[in-house]
Structure 1
Amino acid sequence: MALPLWPVDLPQAPERRSWSGGPREDRAVFEPDVGPPLLAARTTADTWEWNGTFPMLTRAQVQIFYAFWGVDLRRGTLPFLWIDPVLHDEARWIFGAAQDRAWSIIASGGRHFDLSLTLIRLPG
């Protein structure tokens, strides 16, 4: 089964200054009684977590996003394909489980809305 693609009717990259993130802490840290911490890899590949905002979505684009997240991704539980805005390659992504919401919509005035979310770039 092919992975869903980020919808073409949505912005293809977040607002440049809003996109921030880096590698997740995927190491196990052990604090011995003496000496420096001991580190061990918990995974065989890194995952990267990014936060960003897609500004000025129309009401129609918000509905497209709702359908993508809710139906295509089964409420954000499935991965999808999207072009990495930094590396410009196609990658597998999944919505992050940050804090108490998967994403947020903010009214930005008039008929527009800002979509803020956390995405995790998956290995492979």
Structure 2
Amino acid sequence: MTIPVWPADLPQKMSREGFGRSLASGRRLGRKDSGPPRPRLRYSQSAKPVTGAFDLSARQSIRFERFWFEQIAEGAIPFFFPNQMTDGLPLLMPDGTPILTADGRPLLTRAWWLVLIDEADPSASALGGAWFRWTLSLLVMP
């Protein structure tokens, strides 16, 4: 089975408004009657939560719904999603200058996350006209 990829005809970056990423830990805090809690490692790796939104046209919304139902089985199948932190950044030389192509354009990174839709299903709100804001909660797999 091939792992689905976020559609190229949908925006590749979430809106800055509402974007959030949390670090997750596999630790468990042991509580005592007195004194500080004692942390212990419960899992060696944990999924990292990411939340964000996309402003999609009516056509793009239909495409997203087709991806949701047909390709990722209503969120049950993991998929590759552009890394919102590093995808599209220029590659740099050790001195911090960007590496350029032969025609002088910066060479950009292409980075992916393997994600699952979190417990909250995607939801849309009307922005006006034929535009909708879709909010997503994702889990970035370790």
User: Which category describes the TM-score, using the shorter chain as reference length?
Assistant: 0.7 to 0.9
> Highest CA radius of gyration, 1 or 2?
2
Structure 2 residue 129 is the aligned partner of structure 1 residue 113: no
The number of residue pairs the alignment matches comes to 119
Q: Give the whole-Å Cα distance in 2 for the aligned partners of 1:77 and 1:83.
A: 19
Structure 2 residue 38 is the aligned partner of structure 1 residue 38: yes
* Structure with more strand by fraction: 1
The equivalent residue for 2:101 is none
Q: TM-score, normalised to structure 2's length?
A: 0.77
Q: TM-score, normalised to structure 1's length?
A: 0.88
Q: Give the whole-Å Cα distance in 1 for the aligned partners of 2:130 and 2:119.
A: 28
How far apart are residue 28 of structure 1 and its match? 1.5
Q: Give the whole-Å Cα distance in 2 for the aligned partners of 1:118 and 1:12.
A: 15
* Residues 28-55 of structure 1: CA deviation (Å, up to 9, x unaligned): 1210122211112222123211110101
* Residues 65-124 of structure 1: CA deviation (Å, up to 9, x unaligned): 1111112111101100011111322120111113xxx1110110011111111011111x
The equivalent residue for 2:84 is 85
Gap runs ≥5 in structure 1: none
**4+ residue stretches of structure 1 with deviation over 6 A?**
none
Structure 2 residue 141 is the aligned partner of structure 1 residue 122: yes
